[in-house]
Structure 1
Amino acid sequence: MDFAALIYRRQVFLDGQWWLPFSAQFAHFNTVHALANLAGAILLWSLFRPWIRWQEQALAMAGGMLGVALVVVWDAHCDYYAGASGALHGWAAGGAVLMAIRNFRKSRTAMWIGLTLLVAVVLKLLVELDPPTTQALWGFPVYSPAHMAGAFGGLVGAALIGMLAYHGRHKHSQEG
């Protein structure tokens, strides 16, 4: 498979390949890039698996993917994009909030792990506001708006999960 064809390129997108903002999140620039994202996904799955249902994790990640897709399309300066790191930021932020809220009364340890992860994501995003620092840390340019949009999208996904859960509990209590 030619993964280069999946990379978001603004002009190709404008020429009609509307799926590129989404497909680009499955393509990577090199093996190290792909392995780093895979390691992040394995870490998040391992951390969240005991605390958050996989469907909810998927919704947080989908929110992250949508956030990334929107920012690469709206940012006229974004000429190309590839990688899952923005979506992973959504999974991390949304999952951290769900983990903290869901376990507030059940497990203080899980709650603190969720809050710590959320703080770590926020601090990482703040460091990324300085592009030279980010490039020095990673050794290559990072499109930080994708990470921020992904994190925001994951938080929106978590809020949606919370609203659906609240609506389900409220509806169930009215029926009983």
Structure 2
Amino acid sequence: MSGRLHAVHTWAACLGVAALSAAFSFIPWLHAIGLYQRDAVRAGQWWRIVTAMWVHLDTWHWLADAMAAAGVMLLLARVLRPQAIVGALVACGVLVQIALLSQPGVQWYGGLSGALHGLAAWGGLRLLRPQAEAVEDTGDHFSRWIGLLLCAGVLVKVWFEQSWLSPIAYDPHWGFGVVRIAHAFGAASGLLIWVFGEWRAQAGKQAQG
């Protein structure tokens, strides 16, 4: 993939994430059917597991997540393909919602933050150890430093939030309860997806050998 085409695909992915989350956040009927609601999911509305990551509670919530998503995606696109980045983001979001079913105290949830913690963890590990589907492995030490900082940032944030002690914490700045346990679930999801990718890569090498 040429550098220009890669840049076009990367920006298209960033805009696509922002546009999809805007649609679910600001179109009332999409917001209503998309938000994670524990009782609704348990009653059979399984699609909320997929859509909840795109729903935001207000403009500032959406803007913060959209900007964070663009920042992480642009950093990862130094080495990784946009398709892989978006795929990891969606996979982490779905895994977060599935994990939230184990938390009876979390009755509703929306937003990209859990998925973004997973993307940062997965992407950080990928930058530290690129695989065959990377755009190219140029030995770019700056990208590896980015990977190290992403991994360290996620670990430190999850540790200081102590979400296993208090899954939800009211934040007066946002005006709603932040589901911190979703951040921890996101980080774990990113690690899980990375391990799965490493296993697939090793299995592929053994098959070729």
- TM-score class normalised by the smaller sequence: 0.7 to 0.9
In the alignment of these two chains, the number of paired residues is 173
Alignment of 1:23-38 (within 5 A): 23-38=51-66
Equivalent pair of 2:121/2:190 in contact (CA under 8 Å): yes
Equivalent pair of 2:169/2:179 in contact (CA under 8 Å): no
1:127 aligns to what?
160
1:113 to 146, 155, 163: 146
TM-score (norm 2): 0.74
- Give ranges in structure 2 of 5+ residues lacking alignment: 1-26, 132-136
Equivalent pair of 1:7/1:20 in contact (CA under 8 Å): yes
Whichever residue aligns with residue 53 of structure 2, its letter is: Q
Does the C-alpha gap of structure 1 residues 30 and 128 become closer, same or farther in structure 2, counting only changes over 3 Å?
same
Cα offsets for 1:18-60 (capped at 9, x unmatched): 2212211111111111111100110011101121122332343
Q: Is residue 148 from structure 1 mapped to residue 184 from structure 2 by the alignment?
A: yes
- The structure with the greater share of residues assigned to helix is 1
2:97 aligns to what?
69
SS at match of 2:177: coil
The structure with higher relative contact order (CA 8 Å, sep 6+) is 1
Equivalent pair of 1:127/1:134 in contact (CA under 8 Å): no
> Could you tell me how far apart the structure 2 residues matched to 1:9 and 1:119 are?
32
2:9 aligns to what?
none
Equivalent pair of 2:169/2:180 in contact (CA under 8 Å): no
Does the C-alpha gap of structure 1 residues 134 and 115 become closer, same or farther in structure 2, counting only changes over 3 Å?
farther
1:157, distance to aligned residue in structure 2 (A): 1.2
Equivalent pair of 1:128/1:134 in contact (CA under 8 Å): no
> Could you tell me how far apart the structure 1 residues matched to 2:153 and 2:174 are?
17
> Could you tell me how far apart the structure 1 residues matched to 2:173 and 2:186 are?
20
> Could you tell me how far apart the structure 2 residues matched to 1:169 and 1:37 are?
37
SS at match of 1:18: coil
> Could you tell me how far apart the structure 2 residues matched to 1:151 and 1:65 are?
11
> Could you tell me how far apart the structure 1 residues matched to 2:193 and 2:69 are?
17
TM-score (norm 1): 0.86
Cα offsets for 1:65-96 (capped at 9, x unmatched): 13211222111111111111111111111000
- Give ranges in structure 1 of 5+ residues lacking alignment: none
Equivalent pair of 1:59/1:157 in contact (CA under 8 Å): no
Cα offsets for 1:97-156 (capped at 9, x unmatched): 000112998222221210111101111112222769883675542101111111111111
Q: Is residue 9 from structure 1 mapped to residue 42 from structure 2 by the alignment?
A: no
> Could you tell me how far apart the structure 1 residues matched to 2:45 and 2:149 are?
39
Moved segments of 4+, more than 3 Å: 130-134, 136-140
